[in-house]
Structure 1
Amino acid sequence: MPSYHEDELEVLQNGKSKPDICAGIGLPPTKVAAMVTKEQEKPLGERRKAVLRQTLMVIFANSGVIGSGLAVAMPAVTLKQFQDENEPIYLNPSEASWYASINTMACPLGGMLVGYLLDKIGRKRTMLINNIIGIIGWALIAGAFQKDKESAYIQILIGRFISGVMIGLFCSPTGVYAAEITLPKIRGKLLLGTAVALSLGILSMYTIGYFIRDSWRLISTICLCYQILCFLMVIPMPESPSWLMQKGRAEDSRKSLKFFRGIDKNDFTTYDEFETEFSQIKKTSQIAANDEKQSLLTSLKEPEVYKPFLIMLGMFAFQQFSGVVVVVVYAVQIAVTAGVQMDPLLCAIFVGLGRICTTCCLGYILETWGRRPAGMVSGSGMAACMLLIAASSWFPVILQHAPFLPAVCIVLQFMFSTMGLLTLPFYMISEVFPQKVRGVASGMTVCIGLIMSFLVLKIYPTMVDALGNENIFAFYGCVALLAVFYIYFILPETKGKSLLEIEEYFKTGKFPTANQPIENEMKEVFIKK
């Protein structure tokens, strides 16, 4: 058996009382030593054990977001059954539009509550409450067995409304939690967990609807069981060290940070890097405590608050009025009206697959290209797809030569939207606001964005009747094209920047240089490679 130096043995043990012998089997001592040295050179938060812990907790946190995706996409697979006149619960066009959009009307309520809950009871407990709300919503929908159609319809609407509150509540906590437990180098990948989870939830609903086409109650029951599982997954999660410190629980904050940096609770070794980061969390929390009585309205007078607030509102406006959410909720119906010559539910599954594949690659795209290039490619691609769908309706001869063009454009539109306009606003609200208002400001931004979403979804059927599908597609394409110019001229690039550097940019109008100290002499600990 090869021999190791004490420092090598310590790394192979990885905090255990016995070394991981498997780590050295079949490898020469020089190679093992090189592996050990490479691991030791990484910051604590980027080592294998720490990354595994951070990733696992972010997965647990985002399990509930999958439930939100299920709720968002449910109308796409159940509207056909509800609009069948032979069904016990038949919905006329007006009732169907309320069924499809009422959850987005409730989302702003969740958005308004989430900031208060994040700051008052913490990230973990907020996610627990979110899942309980989701369980109640799905239970009401699944339990709508009344013979009276009106009573059942009202109960379904209440269930959809409550599910909308859950969606609004889930938009911020997971991103804030991920941002506070990770270092900048891997933060981008883990922040994408929310987008991946939402995409997975939408794809799951499309898939369930493909196999279960005539039982919305069974679909609701499956979702109810899943939401209960999500609640159980949040229970073992540690609270964010930043929030614990902000509430004066320094020892609990230290234990939490040790967990996320891969340090065992019984390891009392002093790590300079850990102590530096812990000291920074303490300083940041002290500043936040001094500003604790300052309301969001008062904070909006400060450039580091109102600038990102207005920029993110603009991003949400382009997101909603480019038809991103309309395509999600009305995917099956849009596939039919666009002239797709295949099973519309199967087309919806391809749309969901395209979105989740793009989302999984989004971490690489955003960290390699940056936020701005990804957003501009997204807007350009969406505009091209929507205008092609409109053109195929204006000039039917196109479909004679390319019958699958609408299906391809719908799938590509979803993939391009996922690359930027759909995900960037949710991605960036977790990093552009200063910590003192991060919870409230991100919640309020999402709240206003979801109000826009409700308006777009509610008026979509009316717009189709008034303007026609092809003109609606052209309108969405033009809005997506305008978004490209907005991103180019307005949106700052945050790739590779620490949260404090981003805050400094909005405060002064420029990012600090490598040798320029940030105000209060605080920088996040990370290594740029």
Structure 2
Amino acid sequence: MTDETYEMPQNVPDTPKTIQTIPLGDQRKAVLRQELMVLLMNLGMLINGTTLALPSVTLDHLTNPAEVIHLDKSQASWYGKTSASTVACPIGCFAGVFLVDKFGRKASVCLVNILGIFSWILMSTAFYDDPSYVFLQLMASRLLSGIAAGSGSSPASVYGAEISSPKLRARLTNVTSMAISAGVLLIYIVGYFIREDWRLLGMVMLAYQFVCLILLIPVKETPSWLLSKGRIDEAKASLSYFRGLGVGETHVEVENEFTLLRVAVPQNADKEKVSFFKSFCLPEVYKPLLIAVIFFVCQQFSGTFVVVVYAVQIITKAGVLIDPFLCAIYVGIARFIVTSVVITWQLENWGRRQVSIFSAATTGLCLLVLAGSSWFTWLHIPTLSAVAIVSFVVASAGLWTIPFLILPEIFPQKVRGAFCGFTVGVADLIAFSSIKIFPSMVDWMGTGNVFAFYGCIAVLTIFFVYWFIPETKGKTFLEIEDCFRTKK
């Protein structure tokens, strides 16, 4: 098989003809294969967003005293917080630490979809006459969906990083964040049309999750994981597939890439093999871990997840006159468009640091506007609040995306799967704390002061990113690893 080539235009007479070779991994056939496999892997990851935003579209109906079956204030509090950001999600993340490396990226995502199916079954079949039994079944559903969301966060993003060519890495790794945003949008849309029947909503999502499981059948496992298990022929075939070659075909680029991969993986697996807990002592592990955890603290206490969970409630309290469910859809559309189009473009042109700094600055500004609209009566304008909320969702897309995106990049190959899952687990504990205490913060501090607090955290994030977040754009995994190993 020959390389695809194109001739540069000749503007100057007597200039020698220039031939530029497009790397195999960046040719159209290879790109389509990488994008298709990453898409199929991440379809089920919409459960992260649907689970996170579900309380926003179901709480009003579930707590309506006019309904025969409704939850009291305490039950609603636990139902509303037991989402992808609750204690259930870290359980899935910590379990995924061992599953993703032992059974592979594909098997881990299959498990996510199976757990998601059972969670939606529990929600859609809660037909008891006793509210206590309904509450218990809903809690079981939420716990399962939280575990599913947590266990799927790591393998989906790691998969995109491991199969992609360096040029496509940011785009394909970002698909997981896009899937979360798409899940939020999906549940807002379904909730808008089925706002009075949460059981039917569960049935619709059950059908979707089942289709996602079926579509995983043709997905190929990553070459890195296959090689780590000693399945050399399968690993080479997988790499050839993702570089656009047919069955049995070979190419010098694939041979060279596979040789480097084969040298790197056994070196990580044999020469530098350490246990999960001993890995904490390695500078190339504990440095990115510490940076990632602090970055997630900044992310969560800038209100990025809180506004998603309480979107309808926040919009209602802000005095916005349009249908809060419809406004929530606008919020979801804005986040999805920014996450899928704008952020991807910015990442490929600006890099991770510049996107993070810009997002933190604009997020802080929107939050301070929301705080001002609560403090000053002359700023208490429903339209201004609506614009600020939507602008916040758009602006915070970078803070929503970048922490998850850099995880597969900053951890070395030998611990990537395990520590991505572990870090997301810690992040979800932080998210659970931020979401759980939000109502208490509002009661204690007032809505305006809470938004001001979030805004100050967003501003502090600018300085943190500037001083501590490394730029990974255009760097190989080995270059990033060496940066943490050798620099302060």
TM-score scaled to structure 1, two decimals? 0.87
RMSD: 1.8
Displacement of 1:303 in angstroms is 1.0
Contact 1:89 1:153 in 2 (8 A): no
Q: Whole-Å Cα distance in 2 between the matches of residues 181 and 373 of structure 1?
A: 26
Q: Whole-Å Cα distance in 2 between the matches of residues 274 and 323 of structure 1?
A: 45
Partner of 2:310: 330
Q: Does 1:236 align with 2:218?
A: yes
Which of 145, 148, 151 pairs up with 1:169?
A: 151
Contact 2:47 2:145 in 1 (8 A): no
- Deviations, residues 106-157 of structure 1 (Å, cap 9, x unaligned): 0001110112111100011111111101111111111111111101110100
Stretches of 4+ moved more than 6 A in 1? 37-40
Q: Whole-Å Cα distance in 2 between the matches of residues 454 and 38 of structure 1?
A: 57
Contact 2:4 2:21 in 1 (8 A): no
Partner of 1:26: none
- Deviations, residues 46-86 of structure 1 (Å, cap 9, x unaligned): 11100000000000001011122111111110000011001
Worse overlay, 285-294 or 196-205: 285-294
CA separation of 1:302 and 1:215: change in aligned 2, threshold 3 A: same
Partner of 2:30: 50
Q: Whole-Å Cα distance in 2 between the matches of residues 38 and 340 of structure 1?
A: 60
Q: Whole-Å Cα distance in 1 between the matches of residues 100 and 348 of structure 2?
A: 28
- Deviations, residues 276-334 of structure 1 (Å, cap 9, x unaligned): 10011111110122167522321121111111000000111111111111101110001
Which of 453, 456, 467 pairs up with 1:489?
A: 467
Partner of 1:391: 372
Identity %: 45
Which of 278, 285, 288 pairs up with 1:298?
A: 278
Partner of 1:447: 425
What letter matches 1:430 in structure 2?
A: P
Contact 2:120 2:202 in 1 (8 A): yes
Q: Whole-Å Cα distance in 2 between the matches of residues 337 and 39 of structure 1?
A: 62
Q: Does 1:214 align with 2:192?
A: no
Q: Give the match's secondary structure for 1:484.
A: helix
* Residue correspondence of structure 1 range 203-352 to structure 2 within 5 A: 203-267=185-249, 269=250, 271-290=251-270, 294-352=274-332
Contact 2:119 2:141 in 1 (8 A): yes
What letter matches 2:181 in structure 1?
A: S
Q: Does 1:159 align with 2:137?
A: no
Displacement of 1:38 in angstroms is 10
- How many positions carry a matched residue from both structures? 475
Partner of 1:70: 50
Contact 1:110 1:166 in 2 (8 A): yes
* Residue correspondence of structure 1 range 458-477 to structure 2 within 5 A: 458-477=436-455
Contact 1:338 1:469 in 2 (8 A): no
Which of 410, 413, 427 pairs up with 2:392?
A: 413
Q: Whole-Å Cα distance in 2 between the matches of residues 250 and 304 of structure 1?
A: 27
Partner of 2:95: 113
Q: Considering only CA atoms, is the larger Rg found in Structure 1 or Structure 2?
A: 1
Which of 352, 356, 360 pairs up with 1:371?
A: 352
Q: Whole-Å Cα distance in 1 between the matches of residues 237 and 247 of structure 2?
A: 7
Partner of 1:20: none
Q: Whole-Å Cα distance in 2 between the matches of residues 481 and 94 of structure 1?
A: 34
Q: Whole-Å Cα distance in 2 between the matches of residues 38 and 429 of structure 1?
A: 39
Q: Whole-Å Cα distance in 1 between the matches of residues 93 and 186 of structure 2?
A: 24
In the alignment, structure 2 segments of 5+ residues that lack a partner are 11-16
Partner of 2:478: 500
Q: Give the match's secondary structure for 1:408.
A: helix
Displacement of 1:235 in angstroms is 1.3
CA separation of 1:494 and 1:293: change in aligned 2, threshold 3 A: closer
Partner of 1:21: none
Contact 1:39 1:47 in 2 (8 A): no
Contact 1:179 1:430 in 2 (8 A): yes
CA separation of 1:303 and 1:183: change in aligned 2, threshold 3 A: same
Partner of 1:24: none
TM-score scaled to structure 2, two decimals? 0.94
Displacement of 1:480 in angstroms is 0.9
What letter matches 1:287 in structure 2?
A: Q
Displacement of 1:338 in angstroms is 2.1
Displacement of 1:246 in angstroms is 0.4
In the alignment, structure 1 segments of 5+ residues that lack a partner are 1-5, 13-29, 31-36, 511-529
What letter matches 1:96 in structure 2?
A: A
Which of 355, 361, 375 pairs up with 2:335?
A: 355
Q: Whole-Å Cα distance in 2 between the matches of residues 11 and 427 of structure 1?
A: 31
Contact 2:363 2:458 in 1 (8 A): yes
Q: Give the match's secondary structure for 1:404.
A: helix
Displacement of 1:209 in angstroms is 1.2
Displacement of 1:105 in angstroms is 1.5
- Deviations, residues 251-277 of structure 1 (Å, cap 9, x unaligned): 00011111100000032x4x2211110
- Deviations, residues 409-452 of structure 1 (Å, cap 9, x unaligned): 1111111111x211111000010000111111111111011001
Q: Whole-Å Cα distance in 1 between the matches of residues 225 and 190 of structure 2?
A: 38
Q: Give the match's secondary structure for 1:236.
A: coil
- Deviations, residues 225-269 of structure 1 (Å, cap 9, x unaligned): 1000110111110111100000000000011111100000032x4
